[in-house]
Structure 1
Amino acid sequence: MFGKRTSFGGNTQSAPPPSRPVEEPRPTPQAEAPAPEARPAPAQQQAKPPREEVMDIHATESAARDKNYFQTKSSIFNALIDSIDLSQLAAMDQISAREEIRDIVAEIIALKNFVMSIAEQEDLLEDICNDVLGYGPLEPLLARDDIADIMVNGAHRCYIEVGGKVKLTNVRFRDDAHLMNVCQRIVSQVGRRVDESSPICDARLPDGSRVNVIAPPLSIDGPALTIRKFKKDKLTLNQLMKFGSISPEGAEVLRVLGRIRANVLISGGTGSGKTTLLNCLTAFIEKDERVITCEDSAELQLQQPHVVRLETRPPNLEGEGEITMRELVRNCLRMRPERIIVGEVRGSEAFDLLQAMNTGHDGSMGTLHANSPREALSRLESMITMGGFALPSRTIREMIVSSIDVIVQAARLRDGSRRITHISEVLGMEGDVIVTQDVFLYDILGEDAAGNLLGRHRSTGITKPNFTEKARYFNEEAALVDALERANVEHMDMMR
């Protein structure tokens, strides 16, 4: 099938001498232990070398192994590209293409007389398959469902977040050019590019995972790649309850809010789980509702059949062709939406979203960065003001009050856990101040021996919040009142 496969067969005379590319180098004399028969030395001479010196030796050995490995891999990779028909490879399914590449690489290793163990050869085969068909060294990390974030700081440092904690991995790229090739492959899938003339790029993976790339000269120590991974199985409110992110009674209140078409703003810091929570709330949208989503990078995974997904577009090389979030939100109003979902409110689109919520598009939702419900309202006001709207502060606040029903606050705590800390409703105005009322709160009670924070969700004692009227209209009042009363009884029992 691959007519060029034998093209490297005649080059065996000029092949490099046999080598063991991943063989560990001989320890340096300074690192060798003294011979047993050596005369005892003073205590000062018998002391172990400083930790920094040992680390430097290990780092040198690791760098030498990496250099040998990448040289061998580069030689085999170049021979593979010369011998394979990429157009025919692209027409094959993933499994068949991977098997074909493995066969050819094994043949190249035999012809070029590389000497390596079966385990070393297997690692090399897997790496080359990932380079040709996937995202290179990132493939093993992308395959793991327990990783929340992948952070690549240049070619030789890659961190991951697992269980809320950031850890350094042994994933390495050959050099910055190798890393840039992987970045380019990712962003090209969504019609974007990243290079010196356009060094910042937002993109997404096929599963919706968010990708950000910033390249030199803006990134001084090499390209920086950040991937916010999505789980293969979409999280639900039931799973959030199992994780302790929300209590059963709080989850029932959130379910009711999704069903009764309340206008919800989800607030939280970076990595607090705002998009995940928004996905959970959209699960309660009725199947027959027309939903339109607006995002910078399409991340939301709505399950309803009648969904229109819109995505912003950056400017081209000439600085033209940009489509902003505000333009998308304004265009939504001409598309007969029943709900508008904004992935993240960052600027003047806040004004148009509030207008939509206030003009018959009940049940619209969005997220923004803020550390508390009160701060979220202030940020909304600031975004509208910075958008160039010459409106008095009181007018903007009245618009916020008439548009937003509930603010749900998510937080990432210092032990890495994510919790819903507030469910707050917007009541109205007292003078020039917006009045809010907490329905559910999360209290931190302490921490265990492992450093994990201990806390509990509690009701504030309110049994009939302002959105009870909406719940009655959608026949959800009984479920709402029951959840709040159960939460109040549980809180009183704990107080005793």
Structure 2
Amino acid sequence: MAVPFIVQPRGNPRRAGEGDTRAERGEAMTARADLGPLAPYLSDDAVTDVFVNGTSGLFVDRGSGPEHDPTWRASEREVRDIATALIARGGRHIDDATPCVDVRLAGGVRIHAVLPPVATSGTSLSIRVPRLARANLDDLCRGGAFDEGVRAWLTRVVLARENVLVTGAAGTGKTTLLAAMLAHTPENERIVTIEDVAELRIAHPHHVSLEARQPNLEGAGAIGLARLVRESLRMRPDRIVVGECRGEEVRELLTALNTGHDGGAGTLHASGLDDVPARLEALGALAGMDDHAVARQVTSAIGFVLHLERDRTGRRRLARVGRFTDAGGRLGITEATPWE
């Protein structure tokens, strides 16, 4: 298979959340069309993820899990060339010295590439494709994520400026639900989001998106999430949102939410609602917090935990809602149905 792939500069990509305009949709479609031999897979609006596993094949997820495409053929050299070109489009460089790279392209497409020998079966590509249309709570309700009573309650949670933590495994729709909820934020409020790779697309007129920066080839210039949370406090935000808590930034977020910054949110990977306290204790330990400090900070800062699951058919749903408890200095959680 010949893989013609010309990398062309596109200027600065539009930041997520600047409004679902016709120009923005056109930019996203153009970005997808420029993905060379992968463009036919990404032009389908139903596609959420594309995976290339070296010479082992290509898999496409259209909402019901990855499915193998038997028509795809590519050598290791060709897959590596695709990965190199895609990473270059995102303004970064991948080679044997830097074999693992994550970038976001114009239009919000997210590319993660890993080269051999780190990827033992050949160059690995993982591509996440944002929906062109922003989902809202009505859409999620119609899609079976929750019923009408829960939809109305989620709207009240936003308007009441409750701090929430959205949890679930990868691909359960944490970012989608959070963006849909934040779209109900009053227009006179300023939302600042902080993410490793900017994915939150919020239908709101005053959304500022901050994205972490990886170190350069010399290992300098990195700007992590913890620093961005601190920087956001100087931007007079009405709501602070951390796209995914995975390290010491959890301390900065909890501190902010405990000092008058109501209406904030974060997402967290967890396999079940009952696993969330242990995950937060582990992240707190990375930030130098003991279990007692985590329990006091979390129970004071977070109003509700919204846990999402994805069933075998690919349907994503709000499975459980929890509230944190302080059980003798250790963080606990109880299930709640506050809309009843």
1:308 match: secondary structure: strand
Superimposed CA distance per residue, residues 80-130 of structure 1 (whole angstroms, 9 cap, x where no aligned partner):
x9xxxx99x99xxxxxxxxxxxxxxxxxxxxxxxxxxxxxxxxxxxxxxx9
Q: Which amino acid aligns with 2:293?
A: T
Superimposed CA distance per residue, residues 142-191 of structure 1 (whole angstroms, 9 cap, x where no aligned partner):
10011221110014510011232321114535433332332233222332
Higher RCO, Cα 8 Å, sep 6+: 2
Superimposed CA distance per residue, residues 246-282 of structure 1 (whole angstroms, 9 cap, x where no aligned partner):
1111111111111211100000011111111111111
* Alignment partners' CA distance in 2, 1:156 and 1:197: 24
Could you tell me which residue of structure 2 aligns to residue 54 of structure 1?
none
Alignment of 1:301-320 (within 5 A): 301-320=201-220
Q: Which amino acid aligns with 1:336?
A: R
1:207 match: secondary structure: helix
Q: Does 1:141 align with 2:41?
A: yes
1:330 match: secondary structure: helix
Could you tell me which residue of structure 1 aligns to residue 257 of structure 2?
357
Could you tell me which residue of structure 1 aligns to residue 306 of structure 2?
408
Count of aligned pairs between the two proteins = 319
* Alignment partners' CA distance in 1, 2:119 and 2:260: 45
* Alignment partners' CA distance in 2, 1:436 and 1:135: 44
Q: CA RMSD in A?
A: 2.5
The higher radius of gyration belongs to 1
1:254 match: secondary structure: helix
Q: Which amino acid aligns with 2:226?
A: R
Match of 2:224 among 324, 332, 337: 324
* Alignment partners' CA distance in 1, 2:247 and 2:181: 23
1:241 match: secondary structure: helix
Match of 1:431 among 316, 321, 328: 328
CA contact 1:173–1:179 (8 Å) conserved in 2: no
Could you tell me which residue of structure 2 aligns to residue 9 of structure 1?
none
Alignment of 1:174-213 (within 5 A): 174-213=74-113
1:334 match: secondary structure: helix
1:262 match: secondary structure: coil
* Alignment partners' CA distance in 2, 1:204 and 1:173: 25
CA contact 1:156–1:172 (8 Å) conserved in 2: no
How far the C-alpha of 1:141 sits from its partner, in A, is 0.7
Superimposed CA distance per residue, residues 447-489 of structure 1 (whole angstroms, 9 cap, x where no aligned partner):
xxxxxxxxxxxxxxxxxx5xxxxxxxxxxxxxxxxxx35xxxx
Could you tell me which residue of structure 2 aligns to residue 125 of structure 1?
none
CA contact 2:245–2:267 (8 Å) conserved in 1: yes
Could you tell me which residue of structure 1 aligns to residue 26 of structure 2?
none
Could you tell me which residue of structure 2 aligns to residue 157 of structure 1?
57
* Alignment partners' CA distance in 1, 2:168 and 2:108: 20
Alignment TM-score, normalising by the size of structure 2: 0.86
CA contact 1:156–1:171 (8 Å) conserved in 2: no
Could you tell me which residue of structure 2 aligns to residue 172 of structure 1?
72
How far the C-alpha of 1:430 sits from its partner, in A, is 4.0
Alignment of 1:35-114 (within 5 A): 70=1
Could you tell me which residue of structure 2 aligns to residue 274 of structure 1?
174
CA contact 2:185–2:204 (8 Å) conserved in 1: yes
Superimposed CA distance per residue, residues 6-54 of structure 1 (whole angstroms, 9 cap, x where no aligned partner):
xxxxxxxxxxxxxxxxxxxxxxxxxxxxxxxxxxxxxxxxxxxxxxxxx
How far the C-alpha of 1:405 sits from its partner, in A, is 0.5
1:251 match: secondary structure: helix
171 and 203 in structure 1: CA distance in 2 versus 1, 3 angstrom threshold:
farther
How far the C-alpha of 1:229 sits from its partner, in A, is 1.8
Return 5+ residue gaps in structure 2 as ranges: 11-29
CA contact 1:155–1:172 (8 Å) conserved in 2: no
CA contact 2:294–2:331 (8 Å) conserved in 1: no
1:278 match: secondary structure: helix
Deviation larger for 397-406 or 253-262: 253-262
Match of 1:336 among 236, 260, 269: 236
Return 5+ residue gaps in structure 1 as ranges: 1-69, 91-129, 441-464, 466-483, 486-496
Match of 1:421 among 304, 319, 324: 319
* Alignment partners' CA distance in 2, 1:369 and 1:230: 19
* Alignment partners' CA distance in 2, 1:409 and 1:222: 35
How far the C-alpha of 1:206 sits from its partner, in A, is 2.1
